[in-house]
Every structure is written in structure tokens, then in C-alpha cells.
A and B are shown apart, each in its own frame.
Chain A
Amino acid sequence: MEPIRAAVLPADTPPPAGTQLVVFADGKAYTPEALAQQLLARAARYARRHRVWLVPQRFLAENRLCLCLLSPEGAVCGAQTATHLNIDYRAYHFRRANAVAPFDTPIGRVALLVDVDIAMPHAVRQAARNGAELLLSSCFIQPFDLYEDRVRQTAMGAVQANGVPLVGSMSGYGMICQPGGEPLISAFEDSPVAGEVTPVPADGSLRASMEEAQALLRAYGRLFTENGGEAEYV
């Protein structure tokens, strides 16, 4: 695949020249269902105006926390519901998806990781095992829980473990990481976080060990499916 120039920006900020992919970041937990249509319409206008692939903020749709990818024509070309929620949202009884489903786009096979899914190693691994070549994420962390080590460990954990590049936002931070490369992780108070990534799937050697690890998980599946630490709440 060709390298892509990516940027993580505060919502509706014009991207640096030459940017092909934008992930919006903001300090809001999510956009409520009543405002989701407006959010998507505004995001579509932004994508068309700047001719970029765009991941707008997280929004609610049918009681699900969602994230989508818009094409440079402003069309939704993929969406994903969160498979896990932060504990605050559990009280709201949002519904969760049971899988992360990567989808094909002209910039590569993309997996959207909604909110805390980026911090769930099993969700990221599922995306990688299903052929994702680029991880796009948008996550909200309360300001009092947000520190750079958390952002760095989460991003690097996902990228190193799965060999797939990541472009994402975590509240006030942008993350652009390529496997084997120097991660670009920075708060964008002063300037946008911009860099280049090349979509690439997990390599063959890593895939072989992923299968061994999956076999182990299968042998102990009951630990995760029967109690999983707690009962299903929805």
C-alpha cells in the first residue's frame, strides 16, 4: 500500500496541506443521538471540502456508541459499534457489538476501534487477525485519568502486539504509530499531530504465533465466556 499522510486535529480545524486522512479529537465524551445527524452532516461537508478520509467524533446511534469513516466524497464507508464500554457508560445501558469488523477501502483494510476498544487487547487482536491493515481509533479519557504514559502504552501496546499501524485520538492526544517505527504521540495544544503511515497487515511470522495464542485462548475459553469477571448486563 501507498503511505498516507494522516493528521489528528481538533474537530473542524482545517488539515495541514497534503493530508489524506484526518481523525477528529475533542474533549467531549460523545455526541448524543439527537445531535448525531448534525455531526455527520458537518463531518461530511468537512471531508468533501478538504478531500480527506475522515473519522469524526464518537456518536450515539440506536443506543450504541459508534464511530464511522467518511470518504473524501462525504459518504459513510464503514462504521463500528463499541465492543466494550468505559464504566461510566455502563450505567446508561448502551448496547455493545460482539466483534470488531474490518472493512475494505481504497486506503486499505480498516478497523475502527471505538472509545476504549483501543485499550482492549482482544478487540485489537481480533481486528488484526481479520486482516486489518490500518487501525483508526477515537477514545475519550476523563482529564483526571489522562496522562501521557497511558496514551503511549495503549498505542504502542496495540501496534507492537499486532504489527498494524494506528492513527487515533485519545482525548487531547494524537497517536500516529507505525510498527517498528518511532511513535508520534503528542498533545495537540500547539499544533496538529501529523505524520505518515503505510497500511500493512500483520506479517506471516506474527500470524503464526497469533494462531498459537488463539489456540491457548480457546483451550481456556470458559474463563472468558462463562463469567468473564462478571455477568452480561445488556
Chain B
Amino acid sequence: MFSALRASVFAMSLLSTDNRVRLQTRQLFPDGFANELPFVSPVGTRLTAAHFTPRCCRDLRAAAALFDAPLREAAAQGSPFVAFPELSGLALLGLLPRCERVLASLRRRFSAEAGRAGAAREAVQIAQGFLSETFLNMFSVLARGHRMLIAAGGFYVWEEGALRNRQYLFAENGDLLGYQDKMILSDFERAMGVVPCGKLEPMETRIGRIALLTASCARHYEPFAVASGLGCRVATVGASPFGEDLSPLAARAREQALVLVSAGLGASAPFFLSEESAPRVFLPQGGVRSLPADAEGAAALTARVDLSGAPLFDHYTADRNPAFFASLLAGDAPDADAVLVEMGK
């Protein structure tokens, strides 16, 4: 099974060792790593949501340039932080020889629900080494080169007997700050046998704590409430290849006083992405920043946000009822009759 994928990955693994990836990516910075670490002030910090379109690339340098485009736009606007959508690392499959054929065969195998879990496990086990080596080294150099904090998205990993959808955060010096596994899955991923992560681990950065969430969280208040409760002011919620609805994000940002950076995903025929999803930044005050209509082809959206103030106080949603949560978490099924009896009906 997956003989084309296996052969392509084997060939590319020989051509994309860590040294080669770093060398090729570094060539995007002809002046070396001369950029200074930009000064960051909480008032008027700029945050960038990438508008990322995966494509088939001829070589490593072209692949690095694909990820580099939003970073360059962000750097030009003085932004210290860029967020990519989840599973952005799968774009590196576009490096594989005859990538259209490989991607089409993967799609065929995954389109039928029966056997999807086994196929996913096998495909991830084949491609994981190549993807992680290339992706991690590439983003490490890009983060160092631009002196930028990058929520890079990620790819599927097979670890300790479980398949996970992982996202990575890189620091300005190229170090990997940490990763976050996907907590709420799409139906497709459930059928793939992906295991949800039960833990949210925000990462400490120069612009405050950041939580890496996913589009599938948008309909659920819980991940946002936990992120806010753990002291985050910023969370990433990029567009998803599974076409999740991002419209509740405006309400989430307001409810939990979070700035939500939502990277966009462009349409790409080889990767079977038929719909455009625009980058947006959702603000706690209820505002939404998006690209102007004439910004066609822009690789990123940069928005100025204020991370300095106390969370917005709203008369109508500020009440907390710890007893409510205690009963919610205890799982007691509320009894309507009890309410009536208590009221003395």
C-alpha cells in the first residue's frame, strides 16, 4: 500500500536532510541573520494572520519561499507574530516527486470511510520523518531569519501509539517553544482515528501567553474559556482544510476577551482545497479586521491590537457562578421538576 508515497518520500528524504533544509532556507536571507529583534510594546502590537495557499514546489527553496511570503509581508509591517493555519506542514507533500499523483492516490484512499483509520496510520508513519525534519528545520531558520514568533501550523504525527494533529510555535531565535495537539476533532479526523488531546498548554512569549487552537474549536466556548482562564490574551484559530465554520469566532473573542488570529487558506487544486478562507483577526471589543477588497493576492493580514488593557468589562456577561460550573462538571442532569417545586408551583 502507498507504494508511490513510500518511493517519493524515500527519494525526498535523501534530498532534504536537516543541513540541506537549513542551507536552502538560509539562502532566503542573503544578508545573513542581521535583523534585530523588534521592540514590542503591548499598546499597538501588530499581529499577522497568514493567507497561505499550498502548492506543488520544485525544490526546497521554492517550498521555503512559499512559507516565507507571509513572513516577509509581516516583517515589512513590523509585526512580531505570524500565525499559519493548522496542517500547513502538509504543504510540504508538494515537494514530493510527481506530487499530484501522490496526493490524488492519498485522496482516493481517504475518501472511503471504511479503512480510513488504517490508511491514515500507515501514510503518517511513512511521511512523518520527512515532514518533521523538513518542516521543523525550515521554520526554525525562518523564525531566526525574521526574528519573528511563528505559530507555524503543523502536520499529523504518530506518537506513542496514537495519531495526533500537532501545531508548533517557534521563538524569535529559532527555538521550538512548544506544540499543541488538536483538542476538538473534525468528523473526518475522527474517522481517521486521530486522538483528541485533553490538555491545553499555552506558551509563554514576548507578547504574552499564546494558545494554539483550531477552527474546530470555534463552536465551543470551552477551549477559549480555558485559554482565557490560563492567562492568554492571544489565541490562534486558523482556517481548516475540513471547512469548519469560523463565524462564531467574533462571539468567542468578545466572550473571553481574547484576540483571535485566524490564518486564511487559499484554494489549491492539487491539495483539493476548493474554497478560499480569508485571514481575519477578531478583537475582544467585537471588531473584526480583514483584508480590503483590493488586496487580492496578499499573503498576510496584519492588524494592530491593544494587549495592554484589562479585559473589557461587560455588565451583562461579567457574572460568574462557580456553583453552576461545579454542578456542570459534576455531570448532574438538571431536573426541571425540581426547579418548579423549588419555586413553589
User: Which chain A residues have a beta carbon within 8 Å of chain B's beta carbons?
Assistant: 61-62, 64, 66, 76, 78-81, 83-88, 90, 96-103, 116, 119-123, 125-126, 130, 141-142, 145, 149, 153-154, 156-157, 160-162, 205-206, 208-210, 212-221, 223-232
What total count of A-B pairs have CB within 8 Å? 185
Q: Cβ of A126 and Cβ of B226 under 8 Å apart?
A: no
The answer to whether A61 and B229 touch (CB under 8 A), given A161-B221, A212-B185, is no
Interface bin, chain B: 35 or more
> Which of B223, B324, B335, B340 is the one whose CB lies under 8 Å from A123?
B324
18 more A-B contacts (CB under 8 A) besides A130-B334, A225-B322, A226-B322? A80-B336, A96-B323, A101-B339, A103-B337, A120-B319, A122-B221, A125-B220, A125-B221, A142-B315, A153-B286, A160-B219, A160-B248, A206-B219, A213-B221, A216-B183, A225-B325, A230-B320, A231-B322
> Which of A62, A103, A224 is the one whose CB lies under 8 Å from B343?
A62
Segment at the interface with A among B75-83, B161-169, B193-201, B267-275? B193-201
Contact with A along B9-43 (1 / 0, CB 8 A): 00000000000000000000000000000000000
Question: Mind listing 14 A-B residue pairs with CB under 8 Å?
Answer: A76-B340, A98-B323, A120-B319, A153-B250, A154-B251, A162-B219, A209-B220, A213-B223, A216-B198, A221-B325, A223-B225, A224-B225, A226-B322, A228-B322
The answer to whether A225 and B326 touch (CB under 8 A), given A157-B251, A216-B200, is yes
Q: Cβ of B248 and Cβ of A99 under 8 Å apart?
A: no
Q: Cβ of A224 and Cβ of B316 under 8 Å apart?
A: no
Nearest Cβ on chain B to A41's Cβ, whole angstroms: 15
The answer to whether A205 and B317 touch (CB under 8 A), given A153-B286, A161-B220, A232-B323, is no
Q: Cβ of B198 and Cβ of A223 under 8 Å apart?
A: no
Is B222's beta carbon under 8 Å from chain A? yes
Q: Cβ of A220 and Cβ of B323 under 8 Å apart?
A: no
Q: Nearest A residue to B224 by beta-carbon distance?
A: A121
Nearest Cβ on chain A to B344's Cβ, whole angstroms: 7
Q: Cβ of B322 and Cβ of A232 under 8 Å apart?
A: yes
Q: Cβ of B317 and Cβ of A160 under 8 Å apart?
A: no
Q: Cβ of B315 and Cβ of A156 under 8 Å apart?
A: no
CA distance A84 to B117 in the complex (A): 43
Q: 7 tightest CB-CB pairs across the interface, nearest first?
A: A99-B334, A157-B251, A121-B221, A223-B229, A101-B334, A103-B336, A228-B322
Residues of chain A within 8 A of B327, CB atoms compared: 98-99
CA distance A81 to B327 in the complex (A): 15
CA distance A79 to B321 in the complex (A): 20
Is B255's beta carbon under 8 Å from chain A? yes
Q: Cβ of A86 and Cβ of B339 under 8 Å apart?
A: no
Q: Cβ of A61 and Cβ of B343 under 8 Å apart?
A: yes
Contact with A along B282-304 (1 / 0, CB 8 A): 00001000000000000000000
Q: Cβ of B200 and Cβ of A220 under 8 Å apart?
A: yes
Q: Nearest B residue to A157 by beta-carbon distance?
A: B251
Q: Cβ of B286 and Cβ of A228 under 8 Å apart?
A: no
Is B1's beta carbon under 8 Å from chain A? no
Q: Cβ of B184 and Cβ of A212 under 8 Å apart?
A: yes
Residues of chain B from 206 to 237 with CB closer than 8 A to chain A in the complex: 216-217, 219-223, 225-226, 229-230
Residues of chain A within 8 A of B248, CB atoms compared: 156-157, 160-161
Nearest Cβ on chain A to B333's Cβ, whole angstroms: 6
